Structure 1
């Protein structure tokens, strides 16, 4: 068993933040998002593949991606994806995979769920995702730390 300090960085579930704490948190996320977006745009500039911004604040390798007709709630989709950091290191050996997931009834990363609405069956796309649309300020409590932007290679099966 390890020792932990009793200092909390966030309130417990059901805890209440003061307006000042909320403002500090909001400003931190806004600044972090701006920094990450700039870093991702610099990274894109060094790539041979073209990436296109989406309305939800991530980039994808398909032009006009989020202008396509969206899949409806309760429709089914099977998909898989691999997670990478921006050093192109694969984070988990096995991809995340779901069969016959029903829109409106599954819990997925915001950017992945949004991209699944627009991806065509059999299509593969790469997403560049700021941390706020990935695992945010808490990470995944396994291999992904807090505030880590991700590269997600998504495939509709």
Structure 2
């Protein structure tokens, strides 16, 4: 009889409705949910930065941290003149994972776009402001500055840090 009562208790507990971990679409996040999300993002960023630093240590090419929380293979890049909103730029870039597999066959290319008026990954926009015409750079970008929690719904999954090879045309 005790076994039946014990088994019944476990079944009732197993059937109990759990509180949702995410609010419904259009719902509001509680303070607890906001803190959970913030801590997850912070921990993920710290983990990825550690993984990227480890990857850098095993490369022959040197990479340098930028203020926006990514790395670039050009020392003192931020000492170059900075382009302003309203300036035009043409560029292209390829995206790789950290196994150095190219994720898209063709580079993403933008011709004569104006700073302050185009949507781009934050790290790409930041490095473009310092790169002179006909120059190239390699960026190491944590997922939070890339496609983040949702990926790009094509070839880049969620929370994936990227290598971006960019050229100013």
TM-score (norm 1): 0.91
CA contact (8 A) 1:11 1:17 kept: no
- Cα displacement string for residues 45-89 of structure 1 (whole angstroms, at most 9, x for unaligned residues): 010100000000000010111232210101100000000000000
CA distance in 1, matches of 2:21, 2:119: 27
Q: Say which structure is richer in helix.
A: 2
Counterpart of 1:104 in structure 2 is 116
Counterpart of 1:50 in structure 2 is: 62
Counterparts in 2 of 1:134 and 1:9: CA distance versus 1, 3 Å: farther
CA shift, 1:18, in A, is: 1.1
Rg larger in structure: 2
| Pairs aligned (count) | 150
Q: CA deviation at 1:131?
A: 0.2
Distance 1:139-1:11 versus aligned 2 partners, 3 A rule? farther
Consecutive unaligned residues in structure 2, runs of 5 or more: 1-19
Which residue matches 1:127? Answer: 139
Task: List alignment gaps of at least 5 residues for structure 1.
Answer: 1-6
Over the aligned positions, Cα root-mean-square deviation in angstroms equals 1.5
Q: Secondary structure at the match of 1:82?
A: strand
Q: Give the TM-score normalised by the residue count of structure 2.
A: 0.85
